[in-house]
Chains A and B, each alone.
Chain A
Amino acid sequence: MSVADIQITEVGHDDHHDDHHDQGFVSKYIFSTDHKTIAKQFLITGIFWAIVGGGLSLIFRLQLGYPDMDLNWLRPIMGDWITAAGKLDTEFYLGLVTMHGTIMVFFVLTAGLSGTFSNFLIPLQIGARDMASGFLNMLSYWFFFLSSVVMFVSLFIETGPASSGWTVYPPLSALPQAMAGSGLGMTLWLISMALFIASTLLGGINYVTTVINLRTEGMTFTRLPLTIWAFFITAVIGILSFPVLLSCALLLIFDRSFGTSFYLSEIFIGGEALPNMGGSPILFQHLFWFLGHPEVYIVILPALGITSEIISTNSRKPIFGYKAMILSMLAIAFLSFIVWAHHMFVSGMNPFLGSIFTLLTLIIAVPSAVKAFNYITTLWRGNIVFTTGMLFSIGLVSFFISGGLTGLFLGNSALDINLHDTYFVVAHFHLVMGSAAFFGLLAGVYHWFPKMFGRMMDEKLGRLHFWLTFIGVYLVFFPLHYIGIAGFPRRYYSFTSFETFSGFADLNTFVTIAAVVTFAAQFIFLFNFFYSIFGGRKAPANPWKSNTLEWTTPRVPQHGNWPGAIPKVYRWAYDYSKPGAPDDFIPQTIPLSHTPESNLPHEGELAKEEGVESPKKEKDKVE
């Protein structure tokens, strides 16, 4: 009880900081409440899932690229999912696609990305000892872990994992007799997602609370790095949209397990009418996409935040349009809640409604474009330092643009009649969301690895990894546009029986080869990552000459992050190459009154109000 009795009135009294500097192994590495450890747990779990999710996609890519291949060599791992004739089981194909989508969207790019970087960077960049609640934070990870275990187990059960796509549309997902994967596999999917939602909400509530309440002195909202803004807005979107997925899933659970008819009506299976009457599968789509569309921004915004930070640092220039970046993120957050029906243009909706959603959808392209332009203008005439993190950030911008453009086509309700559910959509979201966010994740790892593990990753291997992956991604996903325009529907096991498609067989083979090579290139990263944790060159305190607060901590920050007092903040995070300044960067901890040579007129005024006594004394403190 005593813990709960304490009122937090000052930062130093944060009650979850009963510090045990000699923590045992379990409380230090497993059930840790330290945000840095939790971030690493999210990262490692995310990497694990990325390997699994990527591996699954290779299996179905083999089927698509080489429909005649004898897959018996996969029998040792996949057992009876490879039929006696050496073919991939048709229903398991759908299971693979479903699991690939679920894993990538939720486990890798939501938990792996937000979980890692929100946890790691929020306290470090706002100047806090830890998250508002270390305990809830730990809980958030372990809910994710449980959810992962359940989802993983579902891959190995006899009836196969959920198979109705990552969007789990009923009636397919609601009726166990509809397909094998809609039995136990679907039940496990729902359990896993419920746990996942709990994890996301716990995490999100913590992130928002921390950003609002635990900023260090001087860290006003307009001095926050854009990473923090992005994580903050992402968390707010999550708090508003994941509960809706919960209600969506809840009604599905009732339909499946209790016999209600929220999503079901007038269905015949095997010539027999089901008793369910009065429900509507379209209702599910509305609820699902009310989360589903914000979810794509939950995935991309953190990646964009990371990119803002890395591009500005490595262009040695202030980010172009700081306020515009914040405003466009806020606009995206708002708009993302009112465009969901663009996923439902062909669900039989009123064409007038369709045109309204077309309009809203095209409006969201505006703030997205603002962000893209701001990245380019930041790069423009910068003193670019091509670190691996920077390369991946630039790659992200490239994918975000090339994938975003196709969104404009899809957003037209008339064009979408042709394009919906084809490989064109697959190409669109793999570029704009999948690859872009994945590159954001990698950029973040390369950039903050020195702070996470106190060592540097190898830059040569990093560059090799970048080029193989960057080219590979385009080789894999660009051809899918053509295949999509040619009319290939998504989620088909095989196209060999369609005469019209035979001309594209070679292209499909090509894509598969590119996918295998790109996947293989990721092992360069894995080697680099795990090797550098133990054998990397020791990192300097501020390897990228960056302004943000995390680089003022010791090489490997301990529990509590700063050994002494928390640094104060006197300026925004983007004073790079400021005219008049001796260095090309001025960390946020340097008071304006110490830099009279580079202060702008209004900063000169602010400097007088800082109340910093003798410049000399302050300087000792900073260093």
Chain B
Amino acid sequence: MENTASIFGTGEARVRSMNARKFALWLFIISVTMVFASLTSAYIVKKSEGNWLIIEFPELFNITSVLIVISSISMHFSYLAARRDNLLNIRLGLVITGLLAIGFVVGQYFAWDKLVEQDVYFVGNPAGSFIYVFTGLHVLHLAGGLIFLFVVLFKAYTYKVHSRNLLSIEMCTTYWHFLGGLWLYLYIFLIANN
């Protein structure tokens, strides 16, 4: 890679230097935010038109919320470990995060079960369908985050994550906090609008 620099000439400092990948990740996060912002707005619009169901949310959502918050903490723990070159703790943090995330997904699945027990189905009154769409889409994005997490974990095992190579774990952490925040937003939104 280094030799390309000479071909393109050197010493061309740019006006602003922010990492392009990190920046692009933020733009991606913004567009995902727009998806959920529009869906929750749709929820409000639909609800205000009446013909709506009041739904009791499964207790399980409380537990999964706790799980995802803890996973954010462990993710951050892993990131801090990377900054301090504590290779063992990087892996530990990532593995815990991954396990918690899987726990979260399983929890969401059982929460769907609970909804079905209450006769709230995906197909039916939009009040119920929306819950499935919110949770389902969120889990889909979380699945993307999990893949990212595994990539970083793999890198951690091949000694490619350390204090001078933070980019991937930094980006993963950013996305992970976003996923956690997104879930809390959705859950609080649902509670507040019920």
A278 touches B24 (CB 8 A): no
B27 touches A209 (CB 8 A): yes
B39 touches A205 (CB 8 A): no
Whole-angstrom distance between the Cβ of B38 and the nearest chain A Cβ: 4
Q: If A7-B165, A246-B35, A278-B125 touch, does A12 touch B12 (CB 8 Å cutoff)?
A: yes
Shortest Cβ-Cβ A-B pairs, 3 listed: A565-B9, A243-B34, A12-B5
Tell yes or no: A158 within 8 A of B by CB.
no
Interface size class of B (residues with CB under 8 A): 35 or more
Spot the interface stretch: A217-225, A493-501, A512-520, A572-580: A217-225
Tell yes or no: B193 within 8 A of A by CB.
no
Tell yes or no: A216 within 8 A of B by CB.
yes
Contact with B along A200-240 (1 / 0, CB 8 A): 01001110111011111111100000000000000000011
B24 touches A132 (CB 8 A): yes
B51 touches A6 (CB 8 A): no
Spot the interface stretch: B41-49, B85-93, B97-105, B183-191: B41-49
Chain A residue nearest in CB terms to B14 = A11
B121-138 with Cβ < 8 A to chain A: 122-127, 129, 133, 137
Q: If A280-B49, A560-B7 touch, does A240 touch B13 (CB 8 Å cutoff)?
A: no
A229-277 with Cβ < 8 A to chain B: 239-244, 246-248, 250-251, 254, 258-262, 265, 277
Tell yes or no: B194 within 8 A of A by CB.
no
B74-89 with Cβ < 8 A to chain A: none
B17 touches A9 (CB 8 A): yes
Q: If A217-B15, A560-B7 touch, does A247 touch B23 (CB 8 Å cutoff)?
A: no
Interface hub of A216, A254, A277 (most chain B Cβ within 10 A): A254
Tell yes or no: B18 within 8 A of A by CB.
yes
B161-194 with Cβ < 8 A to chain A: 165, 167-168
Interface size class of A (residues with CB under 8 A): 35 or more
A313-341 with Cβ < 8 A to chain B: none
A133 touches B10 (CB 8 A): no
Residues of B within 8 A of A564 (CB): 9
Whole-angstrom distance between the Cβ of B34 and the nearest chain A Cβ: 4
B31 touches A261 (CB 8 A): no
Residues of B within 8 A of A5 (CB): 160, 165
Whole-angstrom distance between the Cβ of A76 and the nearest chain B Cβ: 45
Tell yes or no: B155 within 8 A of A by CB.
yes
B14 touches A242 (CB 8 A): no
Tell yes or no: A447 within 8 A of B by CB.
no
Whole-angstrom distance between the Cβ of A537 and the nearest chain B Cβ: 31
Select one of B31, B137, B165, B167 contacting A201, CB under 8 A. Answer: B31
B15 touches A216 (CB 8 A): yes
Residues of A within 8 A of B14 (CB): 10-11, 213-217
A10 touches B133 (CB 8 A): no
Tell yes or no: B54 within 8 A of A by CB.
no
Complexed CA–CA distance, A219 and B12 (Å): 12
Complexed CA–CA distance, A107 and B93 (Å): 46
Complexed CA–CA distance, A60 and B133 (Å): 40
B4 touches A260 (CB 8 A): no
Complexed CA–CA distance, A206 and B31 (Å): 13
Complexed CA–CA distance, A214 and B8 (Å): 14
A133 touches B20 (CB 8 A): yes
Whole-angstrom distance between the Cβ of A320 and the nearest chain B Cβ: 26
Chain B residue nearest in CB terms to A560 = B8
Residues of A within 8 A of B18 (CB): 212-213
Whole-angstrom distance between the Cβ of A366 and the nearest chain B Cβ: 26
A209 touches B23 (CB 8 A): yes
B42 touches A247 (CB 8 A): yes
Chain B residue nearest in CB terms to A284 = B42
Tell yes or no: A375 within 8 A of B by CB.
no
A243 touches B17 (CB 8 A): no
Chain A residue nearest in CB terms to B127 = A278
Complexed CA–CA distance, A260 and B124 (Å): 6
Q: If A214-B20, A216-B14, A278-B51 touch, does A13 touch B1 (CB 8 Å cutoff)?
A: yes
Complexed CA–CA distance, A278 and B50 (Å): 8
A262 touches B51 (CB 8 A): no
Contact with A along B38-77 (1 / 0, CB 8 A): 1101100110010111000000000000000000000000
Complexed CA–CA distance, A216 and B27 (Å): 22
Complexed CA–CA distance, A243 and B35 (Å): 5
Complexed CA–CA distance, A220 and B125 (Å): 53
Interface hub of A13, A220, A247, A282 (most chain B Cβ within 10 A): A247
B34 touches A240 (CB 8 A): yes
Select one of B12, B17, B21, B129 contacting A261, CB under 8 A. Answer: B129
Tell yes or no: A279 within 8 A of B by CB.
yes
B165 touches A566 (CB 8 A): no
B15 touches A219 (CB 8 A): yes
Residues of A within 8 A of B41 (CB): 286
Known: A19-B4, A286-B41. 17 other contacts (CB 8 A): A4-B167, A5-B160, A133-B21, A136-B24, A212-B18, A214-B14, A215-B14, A215-B16, A217-B12, A217-B13, A241-B34, A247-B42, A251-B133, A254-B133, A258-B122, A278-B53, A286-B45
Residues of A within 8 A of B4 (CB): 12-14, 17-19
Tell yes or no: A8 within 8 A of B by CB.
yes
Residues of B within 8 A of A247 (CB): 35, 38-39, 42
A251 touches B27 (CB 8 A): no
Whole-angstrom distance between the Cβ of B171 and the nearest chain A Cβ: 10
Q: If A12-B5, A565-B11 touch, does A243 touch B20 (CB 8 Å cutoff)?
A: no
Complexed CA–CA distance, A376 and B20 (Å): 38
Tell yes or no: A293 within 8 A of B by CB.
no
Whole-angstrom distance between the Cβ of B115 and the nearest chain A Cβ: 14
Select one of B34, B38, B167 contacting A7, CB under 8 A. Answer: B167
Complexed CA–CA distance, A514 and B133 (Å): 49
Whole-angstrom distance between the Cβ of A292 and the nearest chain B Cβ: 13
B31 touches A277 (CB 8 A): no
Residues of A within 8 A of B45 (CB): 280, 282-283, 286
Tell yes or no: A458 within 8 A of B by CB.
no
B27 touches A261 (CB 8 A): no
A261 touches B124 (CB 8 A): yes
Tell yes or no: A1 within 8 A of B by CB.
yes
Residues of A within 8 A of B129 (CB): 254, 260-262
Q: If A132-B24, A278-B126 touch, does A242 touch B13 (CB 8 Å cutoff)?
A: no
Q: If A129-B8, A132-B20, A242-B31 touch, does A15 touch B1 (CB 8 Å cutoff)?
A: yes
Select one of A7, A19, A218, A260 contacting B122, CB under 8 A. Answer: A260
- 10 A-B pairs whose Cβ atoms sit less than 8 Å apart in the complex: A1-B158, A4-B168, A10-B5, A11-B14, A133-B20, A133-B24, A204-B27, A212-B16, A217-B13, A278-B53
